[in-house]
Amino acid sequence: MIKLKIVAVLGLSILMSCSTESVKDIRNPIMVQLEFVKGKGILFGHQDDLAYGKNWSYVDGESDVKRVAGDYPAMFGWELGGIELQHTNNLDSIHFQVIKDLVIKGYQMGGINTFSWHPFSVTNGENSWNTETDVVKHMLPNGSHHKEFLAQLDRLADFFQSLKADDGKLVPFIFRPWHEMDGAWFWWGTKNCTSDEFKELFRFSIEYLKNKKGLTQMLVAYSPDRNFTTLDEYLTWYPGDDVIDIIGMDNYYDLKVPGGVELAIKKLHIVIACAKEKQKLSALTETGLENVTDSLWYTQKLGKVVSDSLISKELSYVMVWRNDPKVHFFFPYENHPAAANAKSFLDTPEMLLLNDFNKQKNK
């Protein structure tokens, strides 16, 4: 009897350890980390952070966030527009080899990498902001330029598969294609395709990258802009639970206009409710105030949004846009009038920079 019990307990524990192992094996490490850290703080991210800042470019170890707040962001955003044409540099002139090196570096420091992609049109070579002609329907299976689109995805996949850490492991990442589709400024926006065409484009892209190209290290974010007031509206372009992991929103406008903070909070509540219902994670995937023209923006606008009781408990990350010396910046540089305020915002317990994130992960 005792023997039987021992065998049963042993069997059960082997079974349990096997099943936890296999569950662990198929789970993306980013998902595991974000779930673990949820409620303990919101990760702060910055586009192109390690590549250049307002007064420097390509200096190893530099970061405008670090210069102002004393630590790197926990999340690093990158842009891949141009990879589909085998360009040497992305559309913001960063060499793809630099992006690759810095993605790996960011990952090895413990951060999370996320990619946007503003590809050039397969039909006429115009950039993503050219809405003069319809592109999406021509990219879909049976469309006139589907083959060309497959070639674009192949090149994108090659780049993703080249992201390997020193230990040879593929770098996990979040891919956030076809964002702000609820606006009319991209050729995948409301002016240039139907929501059904959009969903097909999104689904096709992800299924191809995952099933044909084997990108199992990828998570995918859905991020409309702020043009919705209900859950139904928010889901108009939602391509399906099987292709989406992160439920997000981009929002610059509401955090700029008077009274907009409340609207931004309401919309994030919709995003969070949606994520909860679908058992996914939520994020403010892009925000910022161009050239930080309000020196209190970080505590009075973004700070008010993230300190909302539901948002601080549920939201996984917030990312601000890039600091391009020639175009615009969204995080203050050293000695900028908003620098002290941005630091106070990042010093609050709800915001996690890289060290905070690494500490939380290891708790």
Report DSSP state, residue 58. Answer: S
Note the residue count of the chain: 363
Which of 55, 97, 327, 334 binds ligand BMA (CB under 6 A)? It is 327
- Please, which residue, 322 or 336, has the CB nearer to ligand BMA? 322
Provide the minimum distance between the beta carbon of 286 and ligand BMA in the complex, in angstroms, as a whole number: 8
Nearest to 198 by CA among 215, 212, 184: 184
Q: How far apart are CA 102 and CA 97, in angstroms?
A: 9
Question: Number of residues in contact with ligand BMA, rule: CB under 6 A?
Answer: 7
Nearest to 358 by CA among 114, 66, 73, 101: 73
- Please, which residue, 81 or 260, has the CB nearer to ligand BMA? 81
The CA distances from residue 353 to 68, 261, 324, 338, in Å, are 12, 23, 21, 18
Provide the minimum distance between the beta carbon of 127 and ligand BMA in the complex, in angstroms, as a whole number: 8
Provide the minimum distance between the beta carbon of 363 and ligand BMA in the complex, in angstroms, as a whole number: 35
Nearest to 190 by CA among 243, 139, 136: 136
Provide the minimum distance between the beta carbon of 220 and ligand BMA in the complex, in angstroms, as a whole number: 19
Our finding on whether 79 is near ligand BMA (CB under 6 A) is yes
Nearest to 322 by CA among 170, 28, 118: 118
Contact letters for ligand BMA, residues 257-296 (x by CB under 6 A): ----------------------------------------
Q: How far apart are CA 50 and CA 354, in angstroms?
A: 13
Number of other CB atoms surrounding residue 95 within 10 Å: 14
Report DSSP state, residue 79. Answer: E
Amino acid at position 325, single letter: P
Contact letters for ligand BMA, residues 21-60 (x by CB under 6 A): ----------------------------------------
- Please, which residue, 130 or 195, has the CB nearer to ligand BMA? 130
Tokens of 356: 């905070």
Which of 91, 136, 311, 319 binds ligand BMA (CB under 6 A)? It is 91
- Please, which residue, 38 or 87, has the CB nearer to ligand BMA? 87
Nearest to 354 by CA among 9, 97, 75, 47: 75
Which of 92, 254, 350, 356 binds ligand BMA (CB under 6 A)? It is 92
- Please, which residue, 267 or 322, has the CB nearer to ligand BMA? 322
Provide the minimum distance between the beta carbon of 332 and ligand BMA in the complex, in angstroms, as a whole number: 17
For the chain, the distance separating the N- and C-terminal CA atoms, rounded to the nearest angstrom, is: 41
- Please, which residue, 288 or 303, has the CB nearer to ligand BMA? 288
Q: Report 303-322 residues binding ligand BMA (CB under 6 A).
A: 321-322
- The contact set with ligand BMA (CB under 6 A) reads 79, 91-92, 118, 321-322, 327
